[in-house]
Amino acid sequence: MKKLTGALALVTLLFVFSASPAFAHTHLDTSDPEEGSTVTEALDSVTLYFETVIEESAVLELQKEDGTEITLDNITVNDDELSADVTEPLENGAYTLSWDIIGVDGHPMEDSLSFEVDIEETAAEEATEEDTNGQEDASEEQADENEAASESDVQDTAAEDSNSNTLLITILLVAIIAVVAIVLLKRKK
Ligand SMILES: [Cu+2]
């Protein structure tokens, strides 16, 4: 009887560990800009990072607080990322970025986040000056951006790897505990 109870407990444990992460809805993980943040430099793109891969058919919309729709160009799905270019300069104010995606489990998920744009006028003037400095600066900036982008990709991949490692280790631990428990129960007889 004791043996049966122990075995049942182990099966339950295994089930709980294996079932929880894989079958959840796909929520937003992080974003750029983040929910509730204040953007102080010209915003030229928005990116949403989801918990899982999403389907290509994603919808992404940007709205100013007064309801004005801001045109988003080049809306792109890349595995768990949904991004778009913001081609017109954003006036200072509050914005809502909303999405309608289909997650890895086939469920549609609709949500939104808010952020504020607050760019100082001097910053805007500096940006204009930079533009007149010619193409060299622009290409340097582009190179920096590319570098930053690939660095964050590497970090994302590393984070995913460590997540799945944690899960594997957990399963392994539970399996070891199961074996030890079974051996102990057999000895007690
Ligand atoms: Cu779901």
> Measured in angstroms, how far is the CA atom of residue 60 from the centroid of ligand 1?
19
User: In which band, very low, low, confident or very high, does the pLDDT at 186 lie, cut at 50, 70 and 90?
Assistant: confident
Decide: 2 and 170 in contact? Cβ < 8 Å: no
> Measured in angstroms, how far is the CA atom of residue 98 from the centroid of ligand 1?
18
Total-model pTM: 0.55
Q: In what order do the strands lie in the sheet with 45-50?
A: 28-32, 45-50, 81-86, 72-78
- What's phi and psi for 47, nearest 5 deg? -140, 135
> Measured in angstroms, how far is the CA atom of residue 70 from the centroid of ligand 1?
29
CA distance 18 to 40: 43
* Non-local CB neighbours of 62 within 8 Å, separated by 6+ positions: 46, 69, 70, 72, 84, 86, 95, 96, 97
> Measured in angstroms, how far is the CA atom of residue 160 from the centroid of ligand 1?
20
CA distance 54 to 106: 9
- Please name the residue ranges forming H helices in the chain: 2-19, 121-132, 135-188
> Measured in angstroms, how far is the CA atom of residue 46 from the centroid of ligand 1?
24
pLDDT at 9 over 70: no
pLDDT at 158 over 60: no
> Measured in angstroms, how far is the CA atom of residue 105 from the centroid of ligand 1?
5
Name, of 23-27, 91-95, 134-138, 164-168, the range with top average pLDDT: 91-95
> Measured in angstroms, how far is the CA atom of residue 104 from the centroid of ligand 1?
8
pLDDT at 56 over 80: yes
The pLDDT assigned to 66 comes to 96
pLDDT at 126 over 60: no
CA distance 96 to 141: 28
> Measured in angstroms, how far is the CA atom of residue 22 from the centroid of ligand 1?
10
The pLDDT assigned to 121 comes to 78
Of residues 98, 109, 61, 58, the one with CA closest to residue 81: 58
* Non-local CB neighbours of 184 within 8 Å, separated by 6+ positions: none
pLDDT at 91 over 80: yes
